[in-house]
C-alpha cells in the first residue's frame, strides 16, 4: 500500500524542516510527502530549498485554512493518507506499519492518533469520552483530529473532503459524519502516538472563540437531526459563552453567533442526512459522554484551550 503524508503549514519554516527531517528517515516504500504552504509570509520553499528533493510543495495563493489540507489530500496518490500539522512529530516506520495494520479491517475509514504534549500529557482530546478512562483504549469516535489522523483514500473518495468554508474548527466532526454515512468507521487508536509541540506562530488568541462558536451552527445544519441539533447547540454555545467571558473574548462569541446564523442557509445546502447506522453510532458514543457540568468545571481552569 502506498502511503502519503500531507502536511499543512503556515509561517513555520523551522518547524517544517524538523518534521521533514524526521520523515526523511522513513524507509518504507512506496511513500510520498506533500507540504501545503498556506500562503506563508516567507514561502516554505525558501526554507527547505533542495534539502528534501523528494518532497512536493503546493503553494496556496492565500491562507484558505482547511481548504489547504483538502488540496494536499487531492494531490496525494497513496492508498493511505496521513495528515499532519507542521508541529507534530512521531511518524516513523513503526507507526506506518501500525497504521497499515489498522486498515486491515475494511470497515475502518479513518484512524485518529493519540496526541501527547512534549511533557507526555494527553493533548488535543476532542473525543466524547473521558480522557482519563479512554486514552489508552481503541474506540469508535465521531471526531477527527485533523492534524494527527490517517485515512483510507477510497473512503474520502466516497465521503468527500473537509468543508473548506469552515476555514478552521469543527471540520473534523463534519467529515466524520460523512465517513460514517458512507458505511465506514472512524476510530481512535492509542497504538499510533505523536507529539504536538503547539507552536504559537499563526495562532490568533481570538480564533477559538469565533470559529468554535460560528461553526457549531454549520455543523449542526449540515449533519444533525433537528432535536439533536437544538440540544447540541444549546450545550455547545453555552460552553463557549462561559469560556469567552472567562478569557475576555465575549465579543468574538457574539460575532461567532452572528456569523453562524448568517451562514446557515449556505451550510444547509450541503446537508447530508445521517443514516440509521450513523445515528446508532452517535447514540452509542453519547452514552460515554462526560456530563456537561463536569466538563465545564474541568475546563474553567484550563484557559485558552488550544485548537
For residue 89, tell me if it sits in a domain: yes
Q: How confident is the model at residue 198 (pLDDT cuts 50, 70, 90)?
A: confident
Higher pLDDT, 239 or 268: 268
- Let me know if residue 202 belongs to a domain: no
Q: Is 221 a domain residue?
A: yes
Kindly state whether residues 187 and 220 are assigned to the same domain. Answer: no
Q: Which three cell numbers stand for residue 53?
A: 528533493
> Do 167 and 25 belong together in one domain?
yes
Give the angle subtended at the CA of 96 by the CAs of 150 and 91, to the nearest 5°. 80
Total structural domains within the chain: 2
Q: Which of 64-68, 99-103, 155-159, 204-208 has the lowest mean pLDDT?
A: 204-208
Cβ contacts of 182 within 8 Å, gap of 6 or more: 109, 155, 158, 159
- pTM, full prediction: 0.93
133, 162, 196 - which closes a domain: 196
Structural domain of 261: 207-299
Instruction: Determine which helix (DSSP H) or strand (DSSP E) holds 116, and give its type and residue range.
Output: strand 108-116
In a domain, 304, yes or no: no
- Tell me, yes or no, whether 235 and 90 share the same domain: no
Residues of 150-161 as b/e, b for ≥16 C-beta within 10 angstroms?
bbbbebbeebeb
186 and 212 assigned to the same domain: no
Same domain assignment for residues 212 and 131: no
Distance, in Å, from the CA atom of 115 to the CA atom of 185, rounded to the nearest integer, reads 20
User: Is 201 inside a domain boundary?
Assistant: no
Give 255's contacts (C-beta < 8 A, 6+ positions apart): 210, 214
Burial class (CB in 10 A: 0-12, 13-18, 19+), 297: exposed
Asked whether residue 135 falls in the same domain as residue 18, the answer is yes
User: What values do phi and psi take at 85, rounded to 5?
Assistant: -80, 160
Rounded to whole angstroms, the Cα distance separating 155 from 144 reads 14
Average pLDDT, rounded, for the chain: 93
Cα 266 from Cα 263, distance rounded (Å)? 5
Residues 222 and 246 in one domain: yes
Q: Confidence class of residue 290 from pLDDT cuts 50, 70 and 90? A: confident
Q: Which residues contact 232 (CB under 8 A, 6 or more apart)?
A: 216, 220, 224
What pLDDT does 296 receive? Answer: 60
Cα separation values, 298 from 245, 260, 277, Å: 16, 27, 32
Task: Indicate whether 306 belongs to any domain.
Answer: no
**CB 144, CB 176: distance < 8 Å:** yes
Phi and psi at 135, nearest 5°, equal -60, -25
| The predicted structure's pLDDT at residue 292 | 61
Domain match, 74 and 103 both = yes
Does residue 307 belong to any structural domain of this protein? no
| Phi and psi at residue 272, to the nearest 5° | -120, 110
**pLDDT at 222 exceeding the cut of 80:** yes
| Nearest residue to 77 (alpha-carbon basis) of 56, 60, 94 | 56
Last-in-domain residue among 196, 231, 248: 196
Residues 128, 271 within the same domain: no
* Contact yes or no for 258/213 (Cβ under 8 A): no
Alpha helical stretches, state H, the chain: 13-23, 44-48, 66-75, 93-102, 131-134, 153-159, 171-181, 207-223, 226-247, 250-262, 264-269, 276-286, 292-299
Check pLDDT > 90 for residue 139.
yes
| pLDDT value for 201 | 56
User: Is residue 279 in some structural domain?
Assistant: yes
Position 306 confidence tier, pLDDT thresholds 50, 70, 90: very low
User: Could you tell me if 178 and 89 lie in one domain?
Assistant: yes
Residues 56 and 187 in one domain: yes
Comparing 96-105, 202-211, 248-257, the range with the smallest average pLDDT is 202-211
99 and 46 share one domain: yes
CATH number of the domain bearing residue 62: 3.90.550.10
Distance of CA 55 to the CA centre of its chain: 23
Amino acid at each position: 500500500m502506498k502511503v502519503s503524508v500531507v502536511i499543512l503549514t503556515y509561517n513555520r519554516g523551522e518547524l517544517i524542516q524538523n518534521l521533514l527531517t524526521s520523515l526523511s528517515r522513513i524507509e518504507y516504500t512506496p511513500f510520498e510527502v506533500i507540504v501545503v504552504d498556506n500562503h506563508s509570509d516567507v514561502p516554505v520553499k525558501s526554507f527547505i530549498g533542495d534539502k528534501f528533493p523528494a518532497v512536493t510543495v503546493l503553494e496556496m495563493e492565500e491562507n484558505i485554512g482547511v481548504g489547504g489540507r483538502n488540496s494536499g489530500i487531492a494531490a496525494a496518490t497513496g492508498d493511505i493518507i496521513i495528515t499532519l500539522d507542521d508541529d507534530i512529530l512521531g511518524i516513523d516506520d513503526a507507526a506506518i506499519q501500525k497504521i497499515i495494520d489498522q486498515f486491515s479491517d475494511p470497515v475502518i475509514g479513518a484512524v485518529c492518533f493519540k496526541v501527547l504534549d512534549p511533557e507526555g500529557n494527553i493533548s488535543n482530546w476532542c473525543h466524547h469520552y473521558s480522557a482519563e478512562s479512554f486514552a489508552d483504549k481503541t474506540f469508535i469516535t465521531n471526531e477527527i483530529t485533523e492534524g494527527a489522523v490517517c485515512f483510507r483514500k477510497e473512503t474520502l473518495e466516497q465521503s468527500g473532503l473537509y468543508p473548506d468554508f469552515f476555514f478552521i474548527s469543527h471540520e473534523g466532526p463534519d467529515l466524520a459524519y460523512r465517513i460514517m454515512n458512507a458505511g465506514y468507521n472512524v476510530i481512535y487508536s492509542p497504538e499510533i502516538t505523536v507529539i504536538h509541540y503547539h507552536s504559537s506562530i499563526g495562532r490568533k488568541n481570538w480564533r477559538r472563540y469565533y470559529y468554535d462558536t460560528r461553526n457549531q451552527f454549520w455543523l449542526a445544519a449540515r449533519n444533525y437531526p433537528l432535536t439533536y441539533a437544538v440540544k447540541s447547540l444549546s450545550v455547545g454555545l453555552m460552553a463557549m459563552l462561559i469560556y469567552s467571558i472567562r478569557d475576555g473574548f465575549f465579543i468574538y462569541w457574539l460575532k461567532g453567533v452572528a456569523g453562524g446564523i448568517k451562514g446557515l442557509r449556505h451550510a444547509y445546502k450541503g446537508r447530508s442526512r445521517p443514516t440509521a447506522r450513523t445515528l446508532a453510532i452517535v447514540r452509542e458514543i453519547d452514552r460515554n459522554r462526560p456530563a456537561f457540568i463536569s466538563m465545564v468545571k474541568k475546563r474553567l481552569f484550563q484557559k485558552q484551550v488550544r485548537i
